[in-house]
Structure 1
Amino acid sequence: MRPTRPIASAGTRATLPVEIAVAPGLADVAADELQELARRLGRGTMSPEVRDDAIALRWPGTIDELHTLRTAASLSRVWRFDVPRPKALLGDALLRALATDVGDLVRAAPAPFHALRLSAAGRDSDVMRRFADVLASSLSLRVDHEGGDLLVRVRRAQDGAWEVLVRTTPRPMSVRAWRTCDRRGGLDGAFAAAAVRLARPRPTDRVLGAMVGSGTLLIERALVAPAERLDGVDIDAEAVACTLANAASAGAGEHVHVWRGDVTALDVPAAAFDLILVDPPWGDAVGSNRTNPTLYEGMLIELGRIAAPGARLVLVTHEVRLTERLLEDHPLWSVVHARRAWHGGHQPLLCVLRRNRRRSEGARGAMLG
């Protein structure tokens, strides 16, 4: 049985079955961006199946349009086969049709693929080895189950059918092409983009990336909307250079200003910023759980000083209990939003804070229990 191809009649647009992988805990943010894209392109309202780690839908447009999603970890094209077992995938007509479709995807990809990597239960079985070999050969690719960049997944659907999913890019979309410099403990691009969306960027924002590291949060903010100013600060000169290199690679270099400074004692006037983005040390790859209490306490006070009344602070940290304790009845900051989301094997706390307009306004935030 060959895969079902989308068929478009006159005046209609073919739909592509796709699956968008997202960080667990951030699916709603990605779904919101998807709806925004659909409205902007005149595609109407989508009715996707939103799961904790993925969004499945039939997209009435092109794959390239979906590549613009900033909160997506990766994108896969999906083929469904109503067959009882994987061996049926080796049928000549079915496999040739699939190879043709995957070949179209490979040729249209934004970057070349070099090897096929199969992810499937029983990957080392005769059936799966044959499936991978034939598909790779038809695409003039070799099979490399460790380092292959054309990721092909085979799985059984809940109703018993079999699905083949092929990632549409050689690297996950969360790995940004602009990243020429990396540092330990940095956020991936999709997670940072989701954090920025939760802050609701405004063109009048005066933005500070505090403890800027490699600049991921600041650069994602620079790329999503105009801003009045885009500054970054880090105590480490190498971090300053890293952020500047990445900003230049992203095409935002002329808008971003980065300098050295201590986040607990900045040479910045009071009320200078409307949006502050910070991913402080989590105490594992970077920093120490022993010194973080002093660092976090001083950071919140100093960022409160340089934040304008009503300013937003986006904070990402795995020091969950410490952060909850410090923010409880904090005199300068109130919690607007807080959630846990997965990132690189951790489940950090992502919260949006608001700078109180009066010291007496400090209220118990809606932190997670």
Structure 2
Amino acid sequence: MLIDEFLNMTKKISLAMKLLGFAAFIYLAGLMSATFAWIYVQKWLTTPLAISEQGYRYELKAGQSLGHLAYALGRDQVIQHPRLLRLYARLTELNKVHAGEYFFPQGTTPEMLLDKLAKGDVVLYQVTFVEGWTYKQALNALTKVDAVKLQLAGKTEQEQIALLNIPVTQLEGWIFPDTYSFSRNTSDVEIVQGAYQKMLSLLNAEWEKRAADLPYKSSYEALIMASIIERETGHHSERDQIAGVFVRRLQQGMKLQTDPTVIYGMGERYQGRIRRADLEEATDYNTYVIQGLPPTPISLPSAASIRAALNPAPGKALYFVAKGDGTSEFSETLAQHNQAVRRYQLNRSSDYRSAPPPAK
């Protein structure tokens, strides 16, 4: 009896050991499989995708998920295991992606791709509004960037103001000249609104720091003056001096008599030359005829021109003329100025000058 019980116990122990060994084997095999799978995933994550030298561009539209991009990558044979990309992103919480246009250069790995998507590292485009341009030129520059969503083009100025929803009656001068970066499908409305806010902020800040006894009734008049200075300046170092000349003319009740305002008033009629008849034509912008400032700015003034308009250089000069090398000759009297005009301008092909025309 004791022998039978001993044999039965022995059989049970033997069976238990066999079962335990099998379970250990299964556990070990599973652990090894998981390890090899993780090693494979890590290698896959850091292996460059099949992207050509031209790179791979994809626009993830608003409302689309990572799955849309994964499908496109698989369809275009750029990535192996697109489902694995989605699964890994979900497990690592990298599946929350930002809409926009993405560019993946050659050498991009799945890991780099997911990081770019998670950060919203979209393709950025740029447009530059040049100092001294008109608003019309700035708007035209926007139409040449195909990434911009055009809403202002073809509209009247009043329709544009309504779309922009900014408190102005005209747009000339209100767009700050700078380089602006934006993603695809950003509207021209958004870009112009940003440029307006930048100009408004700068103008308000500089207005608070203005010199005393300036002949401006408002910051807008200072903006008009800055736009004239911008168009008159041939050399950056002379902005303050030119501002001083114009401020003294206003203070003394003199006409500004500045050619860029005449050119602006001529519009499309200007073909590179100002003739005496143009200087005598009565228009709202002909400062040889009107007293004081023109009704609006004539260009997009830079920050430097705004600061010059609000902090002009002291002195006695009331006239200046371009010397032809980018600098100007400043004069205190009309007689001195007429001599400078004869010296620097009358023998040149252009009769561009910022001064009263020489006496007949």
Normalising by structure 2, we get a TM-score of: 0.24
Q: Which has the higher strand share?
A: 1
Please tell me whether Structure 1 or Structure 2 has the larger radius of gyration of its CA atoms: 2
Greater helix proportion: 2
